[in-house]
Copies of this chain bind each other. A is one copy, B any other.
Amino acid sequence: MENLPHPDTIIDALSIDCVIFGFKDGRLDILLVKHGEGISAGKWALPGGWITYGESVDDAAKRLLNSLTGIRDIYLEQLKAFGDPNRYPSRRVVTVAYYALVNEENYALIPGFTASDAQWFSIHDLPPLIYDHDQILDYGYRQLKHKVRHEPIGFNLLPAKFTLLQLQELYEAILETKLDKSNFRRKLAKMKLLIDCKEKQKDVSHRAAELYKFDKRVYVTLRKNGMVFGL
């Protein structure tokens, strides 16, 4: 394995786990890696691993995600430290979890380091996960649902110009619920977050819909001050 840190260089009581949500074709996915070695070889897990003595915990999260899956340059937000005394099988390990929501199409998956595979899985069709990774994933998912109700959703999840239906499908995938179209549009209009591009979709087989884009000024303000999107 490439770049495997020497055991003496890692903090043995502390690990990283990354809960990376991906959006593609109206579906919410989660990024998993297959362990290629060690006590859980062949099993699926959240991307994660050990922190070396010389790097910050934040830097370890970025390094591990990149070396295991090829994903780099995303904003990883710290989720929570999970510290149940029995969460790891062979010794005491506390894990610091991070999370992010990305547009899958912007990243190519390249398994590496201790991972023999890296894949997106539908959030509704997951393989069994090691340790307490299902609990970490559940917590991250609840946090994501909370976040999209209180901050404008990531800019980069949709094309620069998008339809209201595309935006609604993004919220529906994350919130796991069908939303009422007119109710959704009324609440959205109140936020004044969208600009009407005054143009329609092209090359679609159905009736072409109006295109919209985010008003960056409003976007930044809502991000800073928070909001309540009562979906």
A11 at the interface (CB under 8 A from B): yes
Chain B residues in 8 Å Cβ range of A92: 11, 53
A159 at the interface (CB under 8 A from B): no
How far does the Cβ of A53 sit from chain B's closest Cβ, in whole Å? 5
**Interface residue SS majority, chain A:** mixed
Contact with B along A38-62 (1 / 0, CB 8 A): 0000000000000101111110100
How far does the Cβ of A174 sit from chain B's closest Cβ, in whole Å? 16
Asked if B94 and A14 sit within 8 Å, CB to CB, the answer is: yes
Q: Closest B residue to A227 by CB, please name it.
A: B228
Kindly report how many copies of this chain are found in the complex they form together: 2
Q: A11-B13, A92-B53 are in contact. Are A58 and B83 (CB under 8 A)?
A: yes
Contact with B along A1-31 (1 / 0, CB 8 A): 0000000000111100000000000000000
9 residue pairs A–B, Cβ–Cβ below 8 Å: A11-B92, A12-B13, A51-B94, A57-B82, A57-B94, A81-B81, A94-B96, A146-B226, A225-B230
Chain A interface residues (CB < 8 Å from chain B): 11-14, 51, 53-58, 60, 78, 80-85, 92, 94, 96, 146, 149-150, 225-228, 230
